[in-house]
A = this chain, B = another copy of it.
Amino acid sequence: MSTTRYHRTVSTDLDSLTDAEQSFWRQWLTLNARVPVALHRQLHDESGLSLQDFEVLVQLTESPDGRLRVSDLANALSWERSRLSHHLGRMGGRGLVDREECEDDGRGSLVVVTQEGRQALQRAVPAHVRTVRDLVFASMDDAQLGALTAFAQAVLSRLDGGGLGTAEPARTAAGD
């Protein structure tokens, strides 16, 4: 764990982060604000799908029969249930998804991609992937990708409250 933290800055905020950490944190916040906007613009302009529509469609399309329980979909997207419910209503209105009853559990509800939804996704994918690749992965080497993956995993496991009571050092290497 971090014992000595050097280079504390004077400003009112963010004390107890080092300069390097602060600097990265600012950048992270900026990325969080700008990357989704850029992806949404490209997607929406070229395919009519919002980034949210796209993510929903990806999850559904990847599932065995193009259908998923609402709760599972919400978990996969890390969305609130009610948000998903509202969003599915809108997507349904546009013919991108449909609903079905759940056989084994009367409380449950299934969402299905329509043919139209599949087609919309297929049309949207190539340009979107190109955008992601050029924006995010251009000239990234294995070591960097490894470090980023380790970082993401560490944060996610902490969010889950997962077995990280013991601050486990993150792997930096890529290849394994």
**Known contacts A31-B152, A34-B159; A141 and B172 CB within 8 A of each other:** yes
**Known contacts A129-B15, A135-B164; A24 and B170 CB within 8 A of each other:** no
> In the assembly, what is the distance between CA of A142 and CA of B7, in Å?
14
In the complex, which residues 124-141 of chain A have their Cβ closer than 8 Å to any Cβ of chain B? 125-126, 129-141
Q: Is A23 at the interface (CB under 8 A from chain B)?
A: yes
> In the assembly, what is the distance between CA of A125 and CA of B17, in Å?
12
Contact partners of A137 in chain B: CB under 8 A: 2, 17, 21
How many monomers of this protein are in the complex?
2
Contact partners of A139 in chain B: CB under 8 A: 1-2, 154, 167-170
Partner of A62, one of B13, B17, B34, B156: B13
Q: Is A61 at the interface (CB under 8 A from chain B)?
A: yes
Q: Is A16 at the interface (CB under 8 A from chain B)?
A: yes
Rounded to whole Å, the gap between the CB of A165 and the closest CB of chain B is 7
A27 x B156 contact (CB < 8 A)? yes
